[in-house]
Structure 1
Amino acid sequence: MKRNMAWLMLPCALAALAEPRWVGRFPASGGIPAPWRIERLNEDIAPTRYRLRDWEGVPAVEAHAVSSMALLARPLEIDLNETPILCWRWRIDAPLKNADMTTKAGDDYAARVYLSFAVPPDTLGLGTRMALGLARSLRGNVVPDAAINYIWDNRQPVGTWQPNAYTDRARMLVLRSGAGQANRWVSERRDVSADFQRAFGHAPAKLTGLALASDTDNTGEQAHAGFADFAFVGRKEPCP
């Protein structure tokens, strides 16, 4: 009898799990699907090239950077209280040789995943508000209140947190480092709310965007990377 009751309750338990919120499930060919779009932060810098491909059985975005920088980005509306976990897969051919995340001249990455946030106004000091206003006057609304970059670095240990070399409103977290896991797909799972709390000391008001990039404009190097299967899930749920 107890065994029968367990089987009867199983569909209810499964139904209680939130569905994955897919935000980057790419086709294997064709054009980059909306709402994804290329964002160039500096028109004087050549943009990183992005295309769709089937990469060892994984429909993915392929990024190829040659002294270049551009984000492949999309807006987001995600309830981080319900689905705070971001899952994805990525890969690189090789880390950059001369990158150094502690300097502006070395602020390049073979692969990175970029999350932008809006934050409560009372968490921003006057100087920060003025700096953001100036940056937006130059670059438009692509400049967020705050950002987290998950990066595949060349030298810093996994787990390293570092303010971006250009602004402390962007924090860098090293998830992979070096060539030990190059040339294969690697899966990630990050609690975005917890990462933001650790980086900035308070909860985010709103997650506003997701971007991916290979970035080599400062070092002049080449990078080749892949990105696939971005989804948000609940804390108790597996990545899809």
Structure 2
Amino acid sequence: MKSVAAVDRRQWLARSLGLCALAGLGACATRSPEGETASPAVDGMGHPAAPATEIQTFSGAAPGQLPTGWFPYVLRRDLPRTRYALAREGSRVALHAQARRSATGLHCALDIDPAQRRTLGFSWKVPHVHDQADVSAAELDDCPARLIVAFDGDHARLSLRDRLLFDQVELFTGQRLPFAMLMYVWDGGRHAVESVHRNHRTARIQYLTVESGGARTGQWLHYQRDLAADYRRVYGEAPGKVIGVGVLTDGDALKTDHDAWYGDITLA
């Protein structure tokens, strides 16, 4: 039985990172709906499933289930879970996220070279944005929609501060943070589109604002990003392999509710 101090430490660490709900973007481990650790994804022979080289679409899957290769990820068991389900939205099948003061993500493990496939395409629709949400402040860091890309890299190049933080995350969560994460976010309106903000605990997690405020709520918005160029702009170097993508709709910081619809995500 875990001590109270150990549980408090785990919760503090999760709050400090803010986005550890997707710390395992590059991992194959999954979580059961009850939040317990589940077995890693396996192939038909019972061997660990290899990361995918294509992102399974939402539009090609049946409503009511998740597409192959996409798994929920729950880190903080003390919070309610964001619910994700495929459903019809108008004429399309999309991923519906419902956050009720929650911060659960959905992720897909990948093995893709962004030098060869650098055009990231995605779309989303958000009915409402809370104007207090602010990705630059840990206590206000909620977003109705985030598209997250995880990258591999040489962990020996991390600063001492980051190595210690990565070790803490692994020790208290069982998950290893990716070398770098780039998050395309919808901010509450305090930051300009194309502005970049680092996570308050580590520079290995960076937020790139692609929407801000409520002017374009209630409509499908489509994006095409040069992923390699965005990474180079934010991190000052060429990216390593893409080892995962994920989505996250959260409202745990401000104790608010968010809804979002996500369309297909592509790397071409």
TM range (shorter): 0.7 to 0.9
1:25 counterpart (40, 49, 57): 57
Q: State whether structure 2 residue 34 is matched by structure 1 residue 38.
A: no
In structure 1, the residue corresponding to 2:102 is in which secondary structure? coil
Give the strand-richer structure, 1 or 2.
1
Mapped to 2, the partners of 1:128 and 1:166 lie a distance apart of 9
| Structure 1 residues 31 and 42: alpha-carbon distance in aligned structure 2, compared to 1, 3 A threshold | same
1:111 counterpart (121, 145, 150): 145
Mapped to 1, the partners of 2:101 and 2:176 lie a distance apart of 21
In structure 2, the residue corresponding to 1:97 is in which secondary structure? coil
8 Å contact 2:113–2:240 — kept in the other structure? no
Shift of 1:141: 2.4
Q: Which residue matches 1:170?
A: 205
Q: State whether structure 2 residue 267 is matched by structure 1 residue 221.
A: no
| Structure 1 residues 232 and 80: alpha-carbon distance in aligned structure 2, compared to 1, 3 A threshold | same
Shift of 1:219: 0.4
**Superposed structure 1 runs of 4+ greater than 3 Å apart:** none
Q: Which residue matches 1:147?
A: 181
Tell me which amino acid in the other structure corresponds to 1:216.
G
Q: Which residue matches 1:195?
A: 230
8 Å contact 2:131–2:213 — kept in the other structure? no
8 Å contact 1:117–1:144 — kept in the other structure? yes
- Which consecutive unaligned segments of at least 5 residues does structure 1 have? 1-20, 234-240
Q: How many residues are paired up?
A: 213
1:53 counterpart (71, 87, 109): 87
Q: CA RMSD in A?
A: 1.5
Q: Which residue matches 1:8?
A: none
TM-score of the pair, normalised by structure 2: 0.75
Mapped to 2, the partners of 1:229 and 1:70 lie a distance apart of 19
Mapped to 1, the partners of 2:144 and 2:200 lie a distance apart of 17
Shift of 1:216: 0.4
Identity among equivalent pairs (%):
28
Mapped to 2, the partners of 1:142 and 1:57 lie a distance apart of 39
Tell me which amino acid in the other structure corresponds to 1:210.
V
| Structure 1 residues 201 and 40: alpha-carbon distance in aligned structure 2, compared to 1, 3 A threshold | same
Mapped to 2, the partners of 1:125 and 1:119 lie a distance apart of 13
Q: Which residue matches 2:6?
A: none
Q: Which residue matches 1:66?
A: 100
Larger radius of gyration: 1
Tell me which amino acid in the other structure corresponds to 1:180.
A
Mapped to 1, the partners of 2:188 and 2:62 lie a distance apart of 29
Shift of 1:122: 4.6
Shift of 1:34: 2.5
- Which consecutive unaligned segments of at least 5 residues does structure 2 have? 1-52
Shift of 1:232: 1.0
Mapped to 1, the partners of 2:175 and 2:206 lie a distance apart of 19
Shift of 1:28: 4.5
| Structure 1 residues 166 and 112: alpha-carbon distance in aligned structure 2, compared to 1, 3 A threshold | same
Mapped to 1, the partners of 2:68 and 2:81 lie a distance apart of 19
TM-score of the pair, normalised by structure 1: 0.84
